[in-house]
């Protein structure tokens, strides 16, 4: 194993030792071979690190790490100090296009499948301007620099006007650019600051740490601050480059980094371009849904399987101030683990809008484990879309999001356990085949069938497609959860969009059968035929031992629901710590449940699969939010904290 050192005082002609370090991380990447470690010393590096090789196994990785105890920053931006003042308080900079090479982010639009622009609205671009680390808004014209427009707050399915952004002064920080043959001119309103005296940076590079070749496996990236990438819009039907990511490979570890200010997506575990790249937008002959379906089969043909793709680890990172996603992925995320990350301020600038936005947005998250993450102040906390199978969302803390968890057009089995879902919209299900154990649902639950988009399901723990089907809804399991009540109209400002009205609790399932036997009986009562007899028959829902407070309502067919009257749950931030404050009536102490495992959960109907660990053994579901093990065979408290009891309590949950 060789140690290659990089320092801002080094030279790329040096040997790379500690005494004669290299100057750039890219030069070290050219030299590094399997088993080597690149040690980067303190300072600021403005480059797009493009690995040249990968490791050969988990034991023979190539590791890139910040030197112990040293702060290393890698940026995709460049500092600009050639600003000239104009008469109206706006400043202008002429940037030679040679700075950008063959990728000019001020000429590249945020565009592709499922992006949404209002009629007549100007297109946004991948460029950005930063004043002392704070990103600007792009103006639609030179005139808007002194009269920036009101921002729209878009909540995906729920829409309202709101001037709230992460920083109230940020809406006045605006830029506008025009790209010429040889130069790019940027105008910016710095609101009285002198851009030549302050730190002003502009986006230059698409990514910060991202290979351009596929199958560079077993790379570790550890301990850096990574920032300022002009990443493109990353829908599931396109190439999905991020600020950092493996680009269609296996076995990366991205850990202990601070990652921020990606124009769209920070960490990508995503798809690559040969299986489709914005074909719905470019060709306009078929919907994006159809092209996404085709991409699954195209990926299989180029080796989308456990032996070659996925199995990444993303852990202990802090990810914030990104326009689209903290973590994004389609196909490339399979068999991965995303744990112990802090994700916040995602898509809160609301500078552009589309249908692929979230703190974590994954398609085909087969056997992905999402555990013990803190996700708050996002447009949508976690959005799992298509082929959520073998996926587990466990021991996460969600709060202050527009919505916490959305699972769309998936057949399961997927497991959601011991989470705090603390925002006003806790869960939206356009899926079936889930199991929910020991969660706190502080907000609404919304249920909707999707009868016009049949999506794939797989052989257990495999990318092999077993079939595909539409989403009837139901086939869900709820055990030992806490549901809080409220007023839907007060929470949303209206009662819904005409498709499905959110409610507090599980009353939205009331028309469903309460057992598989009852489901089969309803099928037998239909007229003779084949698929037609199944179309209007709702699937079974299995619910027992859930707790309902503040007016939340149980499923009509539930076994042993516990209504405890009024209760108080509050999430309180104190610096880097998060507390759950509770005031619970005496009845709560009588409402415990016995820990369950995979064998206790009814088999999923469409996928014909059980709730299992990734290795195929029955799922183990006896560890609560704090990491404490629920006692075997005896009741413990409902919800995410097995030791919670009646009365007043204050529990640190992060």
536's tokens: 């209007």
Q: Which residue has the tokens 């050639």?
A: 82
Please identify, among 159, 179, 203, the residue that sits at the C-terminal boundary of a domain.
Answer: 203
Is residue 360 in a domain? Answer: no
Q: Are residues 84 and 47 in the same domain?
A: no
Same domain, 555 and 447: yes
Give domain status of residue 256, yes or no.
no
Q: Quick one: 475 and 606 in the same domain?
A: yes
Q: Based on the fold, state whether residues 429 and 503 are members of the same structural domain.
A: yes
- Regarding whether 61 and 92 lie in a shared domain, the answer is no
Burial of 150 (C-beta count, 10 Å sphere; 0-12/13-18/19+): exposed
Q: Are residues 490 and 544 in the same domain?
A: yes
Number of structural domains in the chain:
3
Q: Is residue 334 part of a domain?
A: no
Q: Residue 643: which CATH number?
A: 2.160.20.10
pLDDT tens-place string over residues 464-500: 999 999 999 999 999 999 999 998 766 665 444 445 6
Give pLDDT, residue 159. 35
Neighbours of 459 (CB within 10 A): 14
pLDDT in tens, 80-106: 999 999 988 899 999 999 999 999 999
**Residue 13: is it exposed, middle or buried by C-beta count within 10 angstroms (0-12/13-18/19+)?**
exposed
Let me know if residue 281 belongs to a domain: no
Residue ending a domain, choose from 203, 226, 258: 203
CA distance 190 to 92: 11
Report residue 439 as tokens.
Answer: 């969660």
Task: Clarify whether residues 84 and 187 are in a common domain.
Answer: yes
Show the DSSP H helices in 62-213 as ranges: none
Q: How many residues are given for the chain?
A: 654
Contact 378, 359 (CB under 8 A): yes
Neighbours of 234 (CB within 10 A): 26
CATH number of the domain within which 11 lies: 3.30.1910
Residues 540, 640, single domain; the answer is yes
Q: Please list the residues that pair with 416 across neighbouring strands.
A: 393, 436
Q: What is the pLDDT of residue 1?
A: 87
Sign of CA dihedral 220, 224, 229, 235: positive
**438 and 458 both lie in a single domain:** yes
Does 319 fall in a domain? no
| Tally of CB atoms within 10 A around 182 | 9
pTM of structure = 0.96
Tokens representing residue 286 in the block: 């078929």
Is residue 397 in a domain?
yes
Which residue do the tokens 């309202």 mark? 160
Q: Are residues 161 and 46 in the same domain?
A: no
In a domain, 351, yes or no: no
- Cis amide prior to 413 (ω within 30 degrees): yes
Joined together, the tokens standing for residue 463 give 């990318």
The position carrying tokens 């202008």 is 92
Q: Are residues 40 and 122 in the same domain?
A: no
Q: Specify whether the CB–CB gap between 476 and 542 falls below 8 A.
A: yes
DSSP 538: P
pLDDT of residue 89: 86
Q: How far apart are CA 312 and CA 332, in angstroms?
A: 9
Task: Tell me how far apart the alpha carbons of residues 106 and 124 are, in angstroms, rounded to a whole number.
Answer: 9
pLDDT digits (tens, 9 = 90+) for 116-135: 999 999 999 999 999 999 99
CATH number at residue 82: 2.60.40.1180
Q: Tell me whether residue 58 is in a domain.
A: yes
CB atoms within 10 A of CB 27: 20
Domain with 424 in it:
365-654
| 543 and 592 co-located in one domain | yes
> From CA 207, how far away is CA 76, in angstroms rounded?
6
State both tokens at 311. Answer: 């199995």
Whether 360 contacts 383, CB under 8 Å: yes
* Spans in the chain with pLDDT lower than 70: 149-171, 489-500
pLDDT of residue 495: 43
Element (H, E) at 64: strand 62-66
CA–CA separation, 512 vs 125, rounded Å? 47
Of the residues 203, 218, 249, which one is the last residue of a structural domain? 203
Whole-number Å distance between alpha carbons of 380 and 384: 11
Task: Look up residue 413 and give its two tokens.
Answer: 């089995």
Tell me, what's the pLDDT at 88? 87
Q: What is the dihedral of CA 32, 38, 42, 47, to 10 degrees?
A: 40
């Amino acid at each position: 194993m060789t140690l290659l050192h990089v320092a801002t005082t080094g030279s790329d002609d040096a040997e790379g030792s500690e005494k004669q370090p290299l100057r750039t991380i890219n030069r070290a990447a050219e030299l590094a071979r399997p088993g080597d470690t690149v040690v980067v010393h303190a300072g600021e590096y403005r480059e797009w690190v493009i690995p040249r090789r990968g490791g050969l196994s988990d034991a023979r990785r190539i590791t890139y790490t910040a030197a112990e105890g040293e702060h290393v920053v890698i940026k995709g931006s460049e500092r600009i100090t050639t600003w000239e003042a104009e008469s109206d308080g706006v400043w202008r900079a002429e940037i030679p296009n040679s700075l950008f090479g063959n990728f000019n982010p001020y000429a590249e639009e945020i565009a592709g499948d499922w992006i949404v622009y209002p009629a007549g609205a100007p297109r946004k671009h991948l460029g950005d301007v930063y004043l002392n680390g704070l990103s600007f808004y792009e103006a639609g014209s030179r005139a808007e620099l002194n009269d920036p427009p009101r921002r729209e707050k878009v909540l995906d399915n729920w829409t309202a006007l709101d001037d709230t952004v992460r920083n109230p002064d940020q809406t006045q920080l605006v830029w506008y650019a025009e790209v010429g043959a040889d130069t790019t001119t940027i105008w910016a309103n710095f609101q009285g600051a002198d851009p030549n005296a302050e730190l002003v940076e502009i986006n230059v590079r698409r990514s910060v740490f991202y290979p351009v070749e596929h199958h560079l496996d077993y790379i570790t990236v550890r301990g850096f601050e990574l920032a300022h990438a002009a990443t493109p819009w990353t829908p599931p039907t396109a190439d999905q480059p991020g600020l950092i990511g493996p680009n269609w490979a296996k076995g990366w570890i991205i850990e202990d980094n601070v990652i921020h200010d990606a124009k769209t997506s920070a960490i990508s575990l995503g798809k690559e371009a040969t299986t489709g790249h914005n074909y719905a937008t470019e060709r306009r002959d078929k919907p994006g849904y159809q092209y996404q379906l085709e991409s699954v089969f195209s990926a299989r043909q180029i080796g989308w399987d456990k032996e070659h793709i996925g199995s990444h680890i993303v852990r202990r990172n802090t990810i914030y101030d990104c326009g689209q996603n903290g973590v994004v992925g389609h196909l490339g995320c399979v068999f991965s683990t995303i744990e112990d990350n802090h994700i916040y301020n995602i898509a809160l600038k609301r500078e552009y809008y589309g249908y692929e936005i979230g703190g974590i947005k994954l398609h085909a998250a087969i056997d992905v484990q999402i555990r013990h993450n803190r996700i708050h102040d996002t447009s949508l906390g976690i959005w799992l879309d298509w082929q959520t199978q073998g996926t587990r969302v466990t021991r996460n803390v969600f709060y202050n999001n527009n919505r916490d968890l959305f699972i769309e057009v998936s057949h399961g089995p997927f497991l959601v356990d011991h989470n705090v879902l603390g925002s006003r919209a806790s869960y939206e299900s356009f899926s079936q085949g889930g199991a929910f154990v020991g969660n706190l649902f502080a907000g609404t639950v919304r249920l909707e069938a999707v009868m016009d988009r049949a999506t794939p399901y797989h052989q257990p723990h495999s990318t092999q497609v077993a079939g595909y089907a539409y989403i009837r809804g139901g086939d869900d399991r709820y055990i030992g959860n806490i549901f809080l009540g409220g007023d839907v109209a007060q929470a949303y400002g209206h009662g819904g969009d005409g498709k499905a009205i959110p409610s507090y609790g599980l009353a939205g399932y009331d028309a469903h059968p309460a057992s598989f036997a009852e489901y089969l009986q309803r099928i037998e009562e239909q007229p003779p035929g084949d698929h037609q007899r199944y179309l209007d028959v709702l699937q079974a829902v299995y619910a027992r031992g859930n707790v309902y407070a503040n007016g939340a309502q149980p499923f009509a067919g539930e076994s042993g629901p516990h209504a405890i009257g009024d209760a108080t749950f509050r999430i309180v931030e104190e610096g880097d710590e998060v507390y759950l404050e509770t005031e619970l009536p005496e009845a709560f102490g009588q409402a415990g449940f016995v820990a369950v495992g995979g064998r206790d959960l009814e088999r999923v109907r469409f996928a014909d699969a059980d709730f299992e660990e990734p290795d195929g053994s029955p799922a183990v579901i006896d560890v609560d939010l704090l990491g404490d093990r629920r006692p075997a065979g005896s009741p413990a408290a409902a919800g995410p904290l097995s030791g919670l009891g009646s009365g007043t309590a204050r529990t640190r949950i992060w």
